Amino acid sequence: MVNRHGGGAALLDEPETIFAIVSAVRRAVPVHMPVSAKMRLGFNDDSRAEECAQAIADGGADELVVHARTKAQAYRPPAYWERIADIRAALNIPVVANGEIWTLDDARRCRQASGCEMLMLGRGIVTDPGLGLAIKVGDLSGGITWAELLPLLAEFWRIVCARLERRSQAGRFKQWLNFLRRRFPEAEVAYQQLKTVNDPALIEAWLAGQSTGR
């Protein structure tokens, strides 16, 4: 929808429009407030990635996040972290690397390939909410355990119930479990138990059966 109206990744075929947008945002935002931008490598191919990044920097952005895939590559692995290094080399603003960082080892390899110290986590931190902490200390033990995660699941459920219609609540909860099960065996067990459940009362009962500290 966004792309059909010339927004989002469709802009990656129009660096001059990117420049105009970032410049307009920079003018509109108070000087003490940083402006950051995020881009993919391109729409169908990555041939204009540096040009787009340059347009963002020239427009006055203070920082750029690069999701190292084109729109056409969607969310399929791999992410082309080495292309972020090319972009970094062309710019004089800080660049943040993003895409396909699921583990400590991915973070290490991404930093090496991109030359970026700063990383942005997408699905990886949904899958392992302790991943950022683990990366910070360089050890998985710096992350969070399933026991520490349970109160967050309970809090998430509370928010889901407050904001979504009843018929969508269980599905949203299972959506997170579906990510978490890639990392936590306990989430896999829960997912198998709940995958056909649509009644919020049963999610509630499952949570009550866990020691969430509630």
Ligand X SMILES: Cc1cc2nc3c(=O)[nH]c(=O)nc-3n(C[C@H](O)[C@H](O)[C@H](O)COP(=O)(O)O)c2cc1C
Site residues for ligand X per CB under 6 A? 38, 67, 98-101, 121-124, 126
Nearer to ligand X, 67 or 181 (CB): 67
Q: How far is the CB of 12 from ligand X (least distance, A)?
A: 13
Nearer to ligand X, 163 or 214 (CB): 163
Determine the residue with CB nearest ligand X.
Answer: 122
Q: How far is the CB of 76 from ligand X (least distance, A)?
A: 10
Nearer to ligand X, 98 or 169 (CB): 98
Give the chain as a 3 state SS string.
Answer: CCCCCCCHHHHHHCHHHHHHHHHHHHHHCCCCCCCEEEEEEECCCCCCHHHHHHHHHHCCCCEEEEEEEECCCCCCCCCCHHHHHHHHHHCCCCEEEECCCCCHHHHHHHHHHHCCCCEECCHHHHHCCCHHHHHHHCCHHHCCCHHHHHHHHHHHHHHHHHHCCHHHHHHHHHHHHHHHCCCCHHHHHHHHHHCCCCCHHHHHHHHHCCCCCC
Nearer to ligand X, 117 or 199 (CB): 117
Q: How far is the CB of 99 from ligand X (least distance, A)?
A: 5
Shortest CA distance to 114 belongs to which of 89, 93, 139, 142? 89
Q: How far is the CB of 32 from ligand X (least distance, A)?
A: 24
Q: How far is the CB of 65 from ligand X (least distance, A)?
A: 8
Nearer to ligand X, 14 or 204 (CB): 14
